[in-house]
């Protein structure tokens, strides 16, 4: 592929030219949701960030296998090795089967992602469907000597691993300091060191989600699923692993340790992380009262929202920031995005009103296109792409107002420019366009029926003519015969 896409690699802490291991094939793994609650902004941002990468890589001609997992087991309430399973806790509180919780929230997550025009990944594997693979990786790590069994659970031996390799390469944490702290954590007496993490946990008698293993009836540790499923679907080494910055430690740090301990080498070439979302300058949290889920944004039904925001406004707003910057949600900022997106969509509609009035082009759409490619190649700089779309829309408006004259080639170039960057690559969908298109088809069908009725009348086929008129009237249409034909409207019920 001829391009110079650079992406920021969290592991090496620098921008690197993207060179896939097995071009044109690209393997990409992104940590998906733990499905036990409403889909929210913290789900939307990584999904949209990696959707942009997925779309762009495909545009560059790569064949991308995009795996985004579904965490439905093993993610404990405090993100560590003690406490209840997040899904099981929800199931207990609502008196449901854990898999009922998973099904319920997974469908809502997928619907919200579809509303945000996030393309479905190639594979969405469930952690609970890959217990055998996770037991296998645990065995491999035990065989290599970097894990130990304790009371039916298996823990990763961080201190031993750190003697051979380096624990903390991704997060940059100083693990020596962490190892030297001798603080004992309650309920973690089974571990040699508090920093050790679970590969397999023995289930307590009341624990519902459990599977047999060589060590105990239990369940896998949270970090293990991504190592096992990444390897199964993308191989022992693959190109890109992504997720939110909050996953760098401990989740991704532990994934690296698991891969290196089991295979002797790191699995991932490029680690990519999107920054976090804040609401009115604060971290989003249930206890802070600023937790707004996506459905509430779409309906406007939340005390902090002054109006509803369409999924495309949310998507556009997220893309107006670079993925490695924070995004702060507020009514004012979202309203500004809504206006901005309306301006772009209006400009796009105006392209069809443009008339070619010049014979020589003075419009340099090629230059804008080139600048947009440069921005995408510079670590997916979507805010810059958007600024050039605004520049193009100013030229469209100048032409509408008669200030500049365009050639027919210019008009076609403008349309292609928007089609590529706004719709295909940024993934904006013009919802009003879809509605208009379906109304147009509907109106054409009604016109056709009424033309058939006119013909029937000319042929004195009164039965057919009356049938069409009566049935349409019964369906709520008001039909008027005029001297040139007919008029109709749909009465509002």
Min separation Cβ 279 and Zn ion, Å: 24
Which is nearer to Zn ion, 257 or 389 (by Cβ)?
A: 257
Cα separation of 187 and 119, whole Å? 42
Question: What angle in degrees, to the nearest 10, is found between the helix axes of 311-319 and 331-351?
Answer: 100
Min separation Cβ 251 and Zn ion, Å: 5
Q: What's CA 255's distance to the chain center, in Å?
A: 21
Q: Which stretch binds Zn ion (CB under 5 A): 18-26, 122-130, 191-199, 218-226?
A: 218-226
Q: Which stretch binds Zn ion (CB under 5 A): 2-10, 25-33, 149-157, 288-296?
A: 25-33
Min separation Cβ 31 and Zn ion, Å: 3
Instruction: Show contacts with Zn ion in window 83-142 (CB under 5 A).
Output: none
| Phi, psi for residue 224 in degrees, rounded to 5 | -75, -30
Min separation Cβ 150 and Zn ion, Å: 24
426, containing H or E segment: none
Cα separation of 256 and 235, whole Å? 14
Which is nearer to Zn ion, 124 or 374 (by Cβ)?
A: 124
Cα separation of 78 and 208, whole Å? 18
Which is nearer to Zn ion, 39 or 221 (by Cβ)?
A: 221
For residues 357 and 402, the answer to whether their CB atoms sit within 8 Å is no
Q: Which stretch binds Zn ion (CB under 5 A): 79-87, 224-232, 370-378, 468-476?
A: 224-232
Which is nearer to Zn ion, 28 or 31 (by Cβ)?
A: 31
Give how many residues touch Zn ion by CB under 5 A. 2
SS3 363: coil
Rg (CA), the chain: 28
Which is nearer to Zn ion, 135 or 226 (by Cβ)?
A: 226
333: CB partners within 8 A, 6+ apart:
317
Min separation Cβ 120 and Zn ion, Å: 18
Min separation Cβ 72 and Zn ion, Å: 13
And the tokens for 18?
């993207």
Burial of 89 by CB count in 10 Å (0-12 exposed, 13-18 middle, 19+ buried)? middle
Which is nearer to Zn ion, 226 or 386 (by Cβ)?
A: 226
From 344, 363, 431, select the one nearest 403 (Cα to Cα): 363
Min separation Cβ 136 and Zn ion, Å: 18
Which is nearer to Zn ion, 138 or 377 (by Cβ)?
A: 138
For residues 330 and 284, the answer to whether their CB atoms sit within 8 Å is no
Q: Which stretch binds Zn ion (CB under 5 A): 4-12, 221-229, 386-394, 411-419?
A: 221-229
Min separation Cβ 41 and Zn ion, Å: 19
In 275-344, the DSSP E strands lie at: 277-279, 282-283, 327-329
Q: Which stretch binds Zn ion (CB under 5 A): 223-231, 343-351, 363-371, 431-439?
A: 223-231
Residue 31 near Zn ion by CB under 5 A = yes
2: CB partners within 8 A, 6+ apart:
none
Binder among 226, 257, 294, 345 for Zn ion (CB under 5 A): 226
Neighbour count for residue 303 (Cβ, 10 Å): 8
Which is nearer to Zn ion, 71 or 393 (by Cβ)?
A: 71
Residues within the interface to Zn ion (CB under 5 A)? 31, 226
């Amino acid at each position: 592929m001829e391009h110079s896409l650079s992406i920021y690699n969290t592991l090496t802490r620098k921008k690197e030219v993207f060179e896939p291991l097995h071009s044109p094939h690209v393997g990409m793994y992104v940590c998906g949701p733990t499905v036990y609650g409403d889909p929210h902004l913290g789900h939307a941002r990584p999904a949209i960030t990696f959707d942009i990468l997925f779309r762009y890589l495909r545009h560059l001609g790569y064949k991308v296998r995009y795996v985004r997992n579904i965490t439905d087991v093993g993610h404990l309430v405090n993100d560590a090795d003690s406490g209840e399973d997040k899904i099981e806790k929800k199931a207990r509180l609502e008196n449901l089967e854990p898999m009922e919780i998973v099904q319920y929230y997974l469908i809502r997550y997928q619907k919200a992602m579809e509303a945000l025009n996030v393309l479905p990944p190639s594979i969405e594997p469930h952690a609970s469907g890959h217990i055998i693979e996770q037991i296998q990786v645990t065995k491999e790590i035990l065989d290599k000597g970097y894990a130990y069994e304790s009371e039916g659970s298996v823990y990763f031996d961080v201190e031993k691993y750190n003697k051979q390799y380096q624990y903390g390469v991704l997060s940059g944490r100083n693990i020596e300091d962490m190892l030297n702290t001798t603080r004992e954590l309650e309920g973690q007496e089974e571990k040699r060191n508090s920093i050790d993490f679970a590969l397999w946990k023995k289930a307590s008698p009341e624990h519902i989600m459990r599977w047999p293993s060589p060590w105990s009836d239990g369940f896998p540790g949270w970090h293990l699923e991504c190592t096992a499923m990444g390897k199964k679907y993308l191989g022992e080494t693959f190109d890109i692993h992504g997720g939110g910055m909050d996953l760098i430690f401990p989740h991704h740090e532990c994934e690296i340790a698991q891969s290196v301990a089991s295979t002797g080498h790191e699995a991932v070439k490029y680690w990519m992380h999107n920054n976090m979302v804040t609401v009115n300058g604060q971290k989003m949290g249930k206890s802070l009262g600023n937790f707004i889920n996506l459905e509430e944004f779409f309906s406007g039904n939340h005390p902090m929202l002054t109006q509803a925001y369409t999924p495309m406004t949310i998507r556009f707003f997220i893309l107006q920031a670079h993925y490695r910057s924070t995004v702060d949600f507020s009514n004012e900022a979202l309203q500004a995005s809504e206006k901005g997106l309306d301006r772009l969509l209006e400009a796009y509609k105006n392209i069809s009103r443009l008339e070619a009035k010049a014979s020589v082009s003075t419009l340099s759409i090629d230059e804008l296109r080139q600048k947009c490619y440069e921005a995408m190649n510079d670590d997916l700089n979507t805010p810059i792409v958007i600024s050039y779309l605004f520049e193009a829309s100013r030229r469209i408006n100048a032409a509408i107002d008669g200030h500049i004259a365009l050639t027919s080639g210019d008009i076609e170039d403008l349309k292609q420019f928007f089609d590529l960057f706004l719709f295909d690559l940024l993934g904006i969908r013009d919802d009003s366009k879809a509605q208009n298109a379906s109304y147009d088809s509907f109106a054409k069908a009604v016109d056709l029926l009424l033309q058939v009725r006119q013909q029937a009348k000319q042929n004195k086929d009164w039965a057919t003519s009356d049938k069409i008129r009566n049935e349409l009237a019964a369906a709520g249409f008001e039909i008027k015969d005029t001297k040139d034909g007919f008029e109709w409207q749909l009465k509002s019920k």
